Chains A and B, each alone.
Chain A
């Protein structure tokens, strides 16, 4: 299998830098998610690895070999496109066999390999169909089989599940991961769906304005976001800004003192803290009091959004509006105007760059 190294990649479109000094090392057999808002450079990076975009500076290496001067068809990659780009004039069999056919493989090998691949994506028996006779999920699987049949060194996925509805997408996520494990191929995929990135990836890179904001395992990136952008893009976050008071506390204007487990800079320094909405507990005074170690504040329910399995509260705390996610355990959501307490552990106040 293979590694991909992106070293100091720069790509400019006019005066806009689509990639601004991006460096990522994709490990052998890794499932790596690139996530970011549209125009953040994630797709440009994928296309640069595929060979569709030439870098202005920097280098891309596949298995330690620079590929900058190799056109796409000589890079030995597999790619699944956003709308699958299945060849409409060819059957499922011919689509999957395409990569083998242009390589001049014998008919017998082709039949065997395509058959095995269609088995893997559970599409045996569909050989003679045309793409337009398939459902979205089936087309997606044909695209995957077509990309994998040549045993490429790297698999690139450009928003592979974006065109599917939610339920099918969840099914395909599991299937995609299973197939990737079975084949063991190094996989780089682009998505703007944070849940998809967290579910599928071994590691994630968050992009913003052509730069990599943070790289890490899903749990790491989600639990310890390093910047306000990372906290807000991957999941939701309440942001509090204030001046450092002492080694454990930050004075937040219009709220009070907020304690954190992170190492704080010198007193007086201006800092931002992020708190995930699901880490925050809400309780009505006198009913049940959680442990004493919490950051706790008094507030008032300003809005409650009911979504079946969970509830979203907007709670007015001092001068702040705090978002809280809660499992729908109680029979009724707290009515608007209820006086409540909110609290969370100091470890959940995460120090982030503004």
Chain B
């Protein structure tokens, strides 16, 4: 009976991984297939990667995506970390309400948030464009940053900063020499999260992008509507490798800086 249980769990796990990864594996394999019509057997070729180089639209969208994600990561991580510190270390009027209000935006469908942002941005004169997209991405990713960094901060309490103060460290010294190094793994994790939220973001970008400006997800969507070319597989393969690299980097950093 016990042996059966273990095999059932293994079977279930295998099935799970199969459904999770097989589509991705198929996509990557087809990216290297010469045939534009997905004919088998696979004839190995990098023709679709080569044609990517000449696809200006896709490259421009890719640059937009990366630039937007980087700017978003920087802003959301800094602002989010500061907010998390304020929540964890200070008490002020309305703090509980503010903390509570961070959660609903995460559960509200992005479609609705995107629509409301579009309406609001037009109403107050921000309009559409990369700046509006950046605003939207920052607003969306900050709650995640606050939660991830906050969890790390709460784990340590304020005793470490107080200890630093009794040893003669000014608040500034205490922050750079104690607080920041201790919460660094949380901050790095949060920044990768912020990057991912922005880089994967389709709905908000789609709504807030003016004609002629797009990001990778938006461009891929547009391309699929016109016809599914293996070029999409190629760019997707690159994105997959890129994000897996990020995750591996994160895992390494986390173990490097993590204390427990």
For the complex, give the distance between the alpha carbons of A76 and B260 in Å.
32
In-complex Cβ contact of A132 among B164, B181, B259 (8 A):
B259
Interface code B237-257, partner A: CB below 8 Å = 1, 0 otherwise?
000000000000000000001
- Residues of chain A within 8 A of B168, CB atoms compared: 73-74, 76, 99, 102-103, 150
Known: A73-B170, A102-B173. A89 touches B165 (CB 8 A): no
B167 contact set on A, CB distance < 8 A: 73, 78, 98-99, 102, 146-147, 150
Q: Which of chain B's residues have a CB closer than 8 A to the CB of A229?
A: none
Q: CA of A87 to CA of B165 in the docked complex: distance in angstroms? A: 12
A50 to chain B, nearest CB (A): 6
Residue total for A at the interface (Cβ-Cβ under 8 A): 30
Q: In the complex, what's the smallest C-beta–C-beta distance from B259 to chain A, in angstroms?
A: 4
Assembled-state Cα–Cα distance A103/B169 (Å) = 8
Residue B74 CB within 8 A of the other chain: no
Majority secondary structure of chain B interface residues (helix, strand, loop or mixed)? helix
Segment 157-181 of B: residues with Cβ below 8 Å from A = 159-160, 162-171, 173-174, 177-178, 181
B259 touching A89, Cβ below 8 Å: yes
Cross-interface CB contact of B163 among A51, A75, A81, A130, cutoff 8 Å = A81
Q: Is there contact, CB below 8 Å, between A50 and B166?
A: yes
- B162 & A72 in contact (Cβ 8 Å cutoff): yes
B257 close to A89 (CB less than 8 A): yes
User: Which residues in B have their C-beta under 8 angstroms from that of A150?
Assistant: 167-168
Chain B: number of interface residues, binned into ranges: 20 to 34
B256 to chain A, nearest CB (A): 11
Chain A residues within 8 Å of B174, by CB: 73
Q: Within 8 Å CB of B177, what residues of A?
A: 98, 102
Chain B 196-216, CB-CB to A under 8 Å as 1, else 0, gives 000000000000000000000
Asked if B159 contacts A85 (CB within 8 A), the reply is yes
Contact with B along A56-93 (1 / 0, CB 8 A): 00000000000000011111111101110111110000
Give the tally of cross-chain contacts (CB within 8 A): 73
List chain A residues, Cβ under 8 A from B173: 102
* Nearest opposing residue in chain B for A81, CB measure: B159
- List of B residues within 8 angstroms of A88 by Cβ: 182, 259-260
Q: How far is the CB of B184 from chain A (nearest CB, A)?
A: 8
A306 within 8 A of B: no
Residues in chain B near residue A79, CB distance under 8 A:
162-163, 166
Q: Which residue of A lies closest to B165 (CB)?
A: A72
**Are A85 and B160 in contact, with the CB atoms below 8 A?**
yes
**Contact of A102 (CB < 8 Å), options: B159, B160, B169, B181:** B169
A89–B181 CB distance below 8 A: yes
- In the assembled complex, which residues on chain A have CB atoms less than 8 Å from the CB atom of B182? 87-89
CA distance A79 to B182 in the complex (A): 20
Q: Could you tell me the distance between the alpha carbons of A22 and B256 in the complex, rounded to whole angstroms?
A: 48
Select one of A52, A78, A87, A99 contacting B160, CB under 8 A.
Answer: A87
Q: How far is the CA of A146 from the CA of B260 in the complex (A)?
A: 22
Inter-chain contact B169/A98, CB cutoff 8 Å: yes
Q: Are B166 and A78 in contact (CB under 8 A)?
A: yes
> Most chain-A Cβ atoms within 10 A of its Cβ — which of B166, B177, B181?
B166
Distance in angstroms between the alpha carbons of A103 and B167 in the assembled complex: 9
Query: What residue of chain A has the Cβ atom nearest to residue B185's Cβ?
Result: A89
Q: Which residue of B lies closest to A78 (CB)?
A: B166
A71–B161 alpha-carbon span in the complex (Å):
13
Complex alpha-carbon distance, A51 and B162, angstroms: 10
Known: A102-B173, A132-B259, A132-B260. Is A87-B178 also a contact (CB below 8 A)? yes
A162 to chain B, nearest CB (A): 14
Name the residue on B nearest A146 (C-beta): B167
Q: How far is the CB of B195 from chain A (nearest CB, A)?
A: 24
Within 8 Å CB of A86, what residues of B?
A: 163
Residues of B within 8 A of A102 (CB): 164, 167-170, 173, 177
Residue of A nearest to B178 (CB): A87
A73 to chain B, nearest CB (A): 5
B160 touches A71 (CB 8 A): no
- Determine the residue in chain A with the shortest Cβ distance to B159: A85
A85–B181 CB distance below 8 A: no
Residue interface bits A114-140, CB-to-B below 8 A is 1, else 0: 000000000000000010100000000
B130 to chain A, nearest CB (A): 38
Contact of A81 among B162, B170, B178 (CB under 8 A): B162
Residue of A nearest to B170 (CB): A73
- In the complex, 29 of the A-B residue pairs with CB atoms within 8 angstroms, ordered by the A residue number, are A50-B162, A50-B166, A71-B165, A72-B166, A73-B164, A73-B168, A73-B169, A73-B170, A73-B171, A74-B168, A77-B166, A79-B163, A81-B163, A82-B159, A83-B159, A85-B159, A86-B163, A87-B178, A87-B182, A88-B260, A89-B181, A89-B257, A98-B164, A99-B167, A102-B167, A102-B173, A147-B166, A147-B167, A156-B166
Beyond A52-B165, A103-B168, A147-B167, 7 additional pairs, beta carbon < 8 A: A52-B162, A87-B178, A88-B182, A98-B167, A102-B164, A132-B260, A150-B168
Binding site for B on A (CB under 8 A): 50-52, 71-79, 81-83, 85-89, 98-99, 102-103, 130, 132, 146-147, 150, 156
Q: Which 4 A-B pairs have the closest CB atoms?
A: A99-B167, A85-B163, A85-B159, A72-B165
